[in-house]
Amino acid sequence: MIITFYIFVTIAVLFALVILFTKNVLYAAFSLVVVFFCLAGIYVMSGAPFVGVTQILVYIGGIIVFIVFGVMLTTKLNDKNIISESHNRLLGYGLGMLLFIGFILIIHQIDFLSPSFDSATRQANDVAQIGVLLMTDYLIPFEISGVLLLLALIGATVIAGRKKKEQT
Amino acid sequence: MIPIEHFLILAGLLFIIGLVIVITKKNAIMVLIGIELMLNGANLNLVTFSASDPNIGGQMFALFVILIAAAEAAVALAIILNVYKHYRTSNVDEVNELKP
């Protein structure tokens, strides 16, 4: 159980670094799939199975498909556009290192009330509880987010499907 | 049992890697991938802390974050497609004129 967690963590961080250091956009998209799978596993192990399944459904089933479509529609597989150049390297890596050191320092200073993580405290009752909460406490955000998703998808279709006007 | 700090460090690492990708990459789709990684780091924090919360507010918030991420990815890719149609490139450095 604990070993599985650390395996997931290692794979997730490794493939996130692959995204950072690769130049090929398509490789980055496929590495993102692995990162999302590992994160779904970590969600399940931290007592949130519904979020894990949603992660697989929405991220891997939806967003990755969007991204791969975007890559395929904006590049040809053997031209130079699929290679993504980098800029501001020094600034980016320096800022990343500084932030990482800062996060480590802050996280080690916090004194948590329940310092270790016991996933046995939460059981499969979760999914039923999420369903009840969605239909009671979170009803208005739930409905609004449904409308928002519909609007976003219609908007995306309209923006992407717009024909170029004739030159006058 | 797993210390809660390790979850937080993983979330921080994902967030930082996403941020560095957003800063350093030139391709607009890579920038979008970086944003997705940052959102996932934030989500992991929410889920971690909701494990010690009896009415799982963090999990609900994570679900809404995932939903907003889906909407954002759809609109962002539509915009990238339009930019590509016009400039024949998805390099954010070369997209530098407002006039069509």
The pTM of this model reads 0.88
Report whether pLDDT(A77) > 80: no
Of residues A58 and B53, which shows the higher confidence score?
A58
Residues in chain B: 100
**pLDDT given for residue A108 in this prediction:** 87
CA angle A46, A52, A53 (to 5 degrees): 145
Q: Are A130 and B56 in contact (CB under 8 A)?
A: yes
CATH class of B4-87: mainly alpha
User: A21-55, pLDDT tens digit by residue?
Assistant: 988 888 999 999 999 999 999 998 888 889 999 99
**What is the residue extent of each domain of chain B?**
4-87
Report whether pLDDT(B44) > 90: yes
CATH class of A2-104+120-161: mainly alpha
Residues 15-74 on B with a CB inside 8 Å of A are 16-21, 23-27, 29-30, 32-34, 36-37, 40, 43-44, 47-48, 50-52, 55-56, 59-60, 62-64, 66-74
Report whether pLDDT(A123) > 60: no
ipTM of predicted complex: 0.90
Q: Are B57 and B50 in contact (CB under 8 A)?
A: yes
Report whether pLDDT(B89) > 80: no
In DSSP terms, A86 is beta-bridged to B25
Q: Is A54 within 8 Å of B63 when comparing Cβ atoms?
A: yes
**pLDDT given for residue A52 in this prediction:** 92
Q: Is B36 within 8 Å of A32 when comparing Cβ atoms?
A: yes
Most confident of A22-31, B11-20, B55-64, B90-99: B11-20
**pLDDT given for residue B88 in this prediction:** 79
Q: What is the DSSP string of chain B?
A: -EEHHHHHHHHHHHHHHHHHHHHHB-BHHHHHHHHHHHHHHHHHHHHHHHTT-TT-HHHHHHHHHHHHHHHHHHHHHHHHHHHHHHHS--BTTT------
**What is the residue extent of each domain of chain A?**
2-104+120-161
Q: Which residues of B touch A148 (CB under 8 A)?
A: 67-68, 71
**pLDDT given for residue A152 in this prediction:** 92
